[in-house]
Structure 1
Amino acid sequence: MSDGFDFDTTAVREQVRRLRDDERAIEGLPIRLVIALVVGVASLSVMMNMLSGVSGLAVTELDTQPTPEVVTPGEQAVDVRVVTSEGRPVAGATVVAKGETARLDGIVTAETDGNGTATLDLAPTLGPNQVDGTLRFEVKPPAGSEFVDRRGNTKLLVVAED
């Protein structure tokens, strides 16, 4: 009875003997590994060098610097300067003022000029028996830039008049 496989046992034994007696694989293996390692390290080095030149991977956090930092309730103009962590001004960013513990009627926006300064017309209010509060600023970086605004920014303190 046949299972569909016909083996030539003599040919199989000959193949096993040739593999057993062949020492080239053992001698050539370390050299091939060294060559593969060198080529792999060189390729990785080239790829890392290419990636380090891509500016989209590096981002710079932005912060706000309101002037003045402390105001009283009521209508007034506040200059907000947008800067990098190194203190360089950022032109073309949009500054958004929102109420926090002090209130604003809606949100107020303005775009920074060449010096990184935006002037916002704010009218903060405080609640009854509230002595102080804060307004927060968010920054929308210029489109296509390497800037981000992920962390909290400097807030504006609103203090009630005595």
Structure 2
Amino acid sequence: MFERFTSDERAIEGLPVRLVIALVVGIASLSVMMNTIGGLTALGVTELDVKPQPEVIPEGDSEVTVTVVTPEGESVSNATVVAKDGTATLSEIQPAKTGPNGTATLSLSPSLGPNQDEGTVTLDVKPPAGGGYTDDRENTKVLVVSGGGQSS
């Protein structure tokens, strides 16, 4: 019986190697397809950013008007802007909701640490529900300087 296998010349040389290669290529193709399908939900989502005015404020009480914008520069209404500590310290988190024109006004009282000439206040955005918006990237920050700020 074993003699029959040793003398059989009909086998395809390299068949196991070809099967392994086909399996690897198939798995790679499947992972690319699954990755593409998994990313389809994010295709219709627009990233939001903020435009604070002024961008530079002095330490102490200041009002900052923040406009929530799309990459095309269109303002977004009903978004919530949250001002939090960056390298400058706020006494509390300051939320504000954008109006029909896409702007919100924040009353900030940032303070700097000892020997600190400047710091930042971080602005986060909670997009309006059902609008196809997201805020995954870092937004523009407000610069806080000791002494006087730039008013524009």
| Correspondence for 1:115 | 101
Q: Secondary structure at 2:48's aligned position in 1?
A: strand
**Counterpart residue type for residue 143 of structure 1:** A
Unaligned residue ranges in structure 1 (runs of 5+) = 1-53
CA–CA separation in structure 2 for the residues paired with 1:75 and 1:160 = 12
CA–CA separation in structure 2 for the residues paired with 1:134 and 1:124 = 9
| Correspondence for 2:81 | 95
Does 2:128 match 1:136? no
Matches within 5 A, 1:146-157: 146-157=132-143
CA–CA separation in structure 2 for the residues paired with 1:93 and 1:115 = 11
| Correspondence for 1:159 | 145
| Correspondence for 2:72 | 86
Q: Which protein has the larger Cα radius of gyration, Structure 1 or Structure 2?
A: 1
CA–CA separation in structure 2 for the residues paired with 1:102 and 1:95 = 18
State the TM-score, normalized to the length of structure 2: 0.69
**Counterpart residue type for residue 88 of structure 1:** E
Deviation, structure 1 residue 146: 0.3
Of 61, 64, 84, the residue aligned with 2:50 is 64
Q: How many residues align?
A: 110
CA–CA separation in structure 2 for the residues paired with 1:91 and 1:75 = 26
Q: What do residues 52-105 of structure 1 show as CA deviations (whole Å, max 9, x unaligned)?
A: xx9985000000000000000111111000000000000000000001100001
CA–CA separation in structure 2 for the residues paired with 1:57 and 1:157 = 33
CA RMSD, 1 decimal: 1.8
| Correspondence for 2:91 | 105
Q: Secondary structure at 1:88's aligned position in 2?
A: coil
| Correspondence for 1:126 | 112
Of 34, 48, 59, the residue aligned with 1:73 is 59
CA–CA separation in structure 2 for the residues paired with 1:145 and 1:55 = 14
CA–CA separation in structure 1 for the residues paired with 2:92 and 2:58 = 18
**Identical-pair percentage:** 55
Q: RCO greater where, 1 or 2, for CA within 8 Å and sep 6 or more? A: 2
**Counterpart residue type for residue 47 of structure 2:** E
Q: What do residues 123-158 of structure 1 show as CA deviations (whole Å, max 9, x unaligned)?
A: 000001100000110000011110000000000000
Q: Structure 1 or 2: larger helix share?
A: 1
Q: Is the 8 A contact 1:56 1:146 kept in 2?
A: no
